């Protein structure tokens, strides 16, 4: 295992072996400042010897692959899982604010200075901005522990119209599927031949509704998320009496995000870092990976992007999961019998522990995913495996306090034979 080293001024140095780190710590020449990835800070000056390190970044909408390597060996490998709850949280907040203006409670005036037109140039949707910030943050975290001299980013652009219809060409790009229709409702009714897609007219109900297969809150009003239902079937579905066989069509959220963030992320990196920042493309990464006989993983793609294919690979990687910092919802949405409002969250700290703290439980290392006022904690690994559904805080040992990116070390996938 490699140990990452920074000098007394906070500047990154080349990593050292675990044995050398133990000697430095034992002799009092260094102190440990981070457990995962394990990092030490020297108390004295060093020669500052460095080698050229290339950081490969496999950018994505849900996952980020990272791999830093010299010509001879890989020195860092990680896969980051990004948050996907931004849309749902913002939509819920919008619903609550709108409801608050229409019921007898604390009034909140609508604000008009936070509209898109009032924002500065370069404004991006919160979901996209959060992911771009996450990309910049994980790259910065690597640059804090390694003297990176070059960054290579895989960017991609998607022709969404081509993905929907491979035969499209020329002027057809300007003639979408809703051409000559007044609105999306009219198009859905025409597409479904003005027929209920569940009973196919057997209910004899002539009143037709347009139904969202996935909640409008998160699924939107895209045509592939809408179907025609008669009012009888529509009410029966929401009453839980029937189930629909139809599934939502392919979503292109990830492709849209990659198209927007492609240059926003790349150009921001060039602004921040003074050294060489380049981009590459997915087909090059795929060809490199197949020729080397490597498995399809995000951190493996990042290794191929760095293009030090003769380097000795690490036999482990850091699996990281991004989590929210705070839960600002004070009360639950459902009111208890008797009109009492139940709090939605436990105290900030409970018996010295917080949500997502890293702890040792039953001889295993996990994270706090749930806690109760009684002192019972739900401990899990990042893949969701339960170590204990309810264990007393007295039987836990704190390893490290929570961070925005929860980290655990995993074994790397072996190459194909």
Say whether pLDDT at 299 is over 90: yes
CATH number of this structure's domain 54-85+120-158+253-322: 3.30.420.10
pLDDT band at 161 (very low <50, low <70, confident <90, very high): confident
Say whether pLDDT at 87 is over 90: no
pLDDT band at 4 (very low <50, low <70, confident <90, very high): very high
So what's the pLDDT on residue 24?
A: 92
Say whether pLDDT at 417 is over 60: no
Q: What percent of the chain has pLDDT over 70?
A: 95
Q: What is the residue extent of each domain of the chain?
A: 2-42, 54-85+120-158+253-322, 177-238, 327-401
So what's the pLDDT on residue 104?
A: 66
Long-range CB contacts for residues 184-189, cutoff 8 Å, separation at least 24: 184/210, 184/221, 184/223, 184/226, 185/210, 187/223, 188/223, 188/226, 188/227, 188/228, 189/228
From edge to edge, which strands make up the β-sheet containing 276-281? 276-281, 150-155, 54-58, 63-69, 74-81, 316-322, 405-411
Give the model confidence (pLDDT) of 365-403 as tens digits: 999 998 888 889 999 999 888 998 889 989 999 999 989
Nearest in space to 62 (alpha carbons), one of 128, 158, 146: 128
- Class of domain 327-401 (CATH, top level): mainly beta
Query: What predicted TM-score, i.e. pTM, was given to this entire model?
Result: 0.85
So what's the pLDDT on residue 26?
A: 94
Higher pLDDT, 111 or 334: 334
Judged by phi (left if over 0) then psi (alpha if -120 to 50, else beta), residue 208 lies in beta
Tell me how far CA of residue 24 lies from CA of 37, 40, 145, 147, in angstroms.
17, 9, 17, 20
Phi, psi values for residue 264, rounded to 5°: -60, -45
Give the model confidence (pLDDT) of 27-50 as tens digits: 999 999 988 899 999 998 777 778
Structure tokens at 232: 């009888």
So what's the pLDDT on residue 90?
A: 87
Average pLDDT over residues 79-96: 88
Say whether pLDDT at 358 is over 70: yes
Quote the Cα angle for 77-82-83, to 5°: 160
């Amino acid at each position: 295992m490699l140990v990452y080293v920074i000098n007394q001024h906070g500047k990154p140095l080349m990593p050292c072996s675990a044995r050398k780190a133990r000697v430095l710590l034992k002799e009092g020449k260094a102190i440990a400042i981070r457990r995962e990835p394990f990092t030490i800070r020297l108390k004295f000056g060093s020669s500052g010897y460095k080698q050229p390190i290339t950081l490969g970044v496999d950018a994505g909408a849900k996952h980020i692959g990272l791999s830093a390597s010299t010509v001879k060996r890989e020195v860092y490998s990680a896969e980051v899982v990004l948050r996907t709850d931004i849309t749902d949280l913002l939509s819920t907040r919008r619903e609550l604010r709108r409801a608050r203006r229409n019921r007898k409670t604390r009034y909140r005036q609508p604000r008009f200075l936070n509209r898109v037109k009032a924002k500065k140039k370069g404004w991006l949707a919160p979901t996209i901005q959060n992911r771009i910030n996450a990309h910049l943050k994980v790259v910065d975290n690597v640059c804090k522990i390694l003297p990176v001299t070059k960054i290579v980013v895989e960017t991609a652009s998607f022709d969404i119209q081509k993905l929907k219809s491979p035969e499209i060409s020329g002027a057809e790009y300007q003639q979408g599927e809703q051409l000559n229709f007044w609105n999306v409702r009219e198009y859905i009714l025409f597409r479904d031949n003005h027929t209920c897609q569940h009973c196919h007219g057997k209910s004899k109900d002539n009143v037709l509704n347009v139904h969202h297969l996935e909640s409008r809150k998160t699924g939107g009003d895209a045509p592939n998320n809408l179907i025609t239902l008669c009012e009888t079937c529509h009410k029966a579905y929401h009453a839980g009496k029937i189930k629909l066989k139809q599934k939502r069509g392919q979503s292109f959220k990830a492709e849209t995000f990659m198209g927007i963030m492609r240059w926003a992320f790349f150009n921001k990196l060039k602004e921040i870092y003074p050294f060489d920042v380049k981009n590459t493309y997915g087909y090059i990464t795929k060809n490199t990976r197949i020729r080397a006989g490597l498995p399809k993983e995000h951190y493996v793609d990042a290794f191929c992007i760095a293009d030090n294919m003769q380097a000795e690979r690490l036999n482990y990687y850091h699996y990281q999961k991004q989590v929210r910092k705070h839960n600002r919802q004070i009360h639950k949405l459902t009111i208890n019998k008797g009109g009492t409002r139940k709090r939605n969250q436990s105290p900030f700290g409970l018996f010295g522990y917080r949500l997502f703290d890293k702890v040792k439980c039953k001889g295993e290392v996990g994270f706090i995913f749930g806690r109760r006022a009684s002192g019972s904690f739900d401990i899990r690994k990042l893949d969701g495996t339960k170590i204990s559904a309810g264990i007393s805080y007295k039987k836990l040992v704190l390893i490290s306090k929570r961070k925005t990116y929860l980290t655990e070390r995993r074994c790397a996938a072996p190459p194909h034979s």
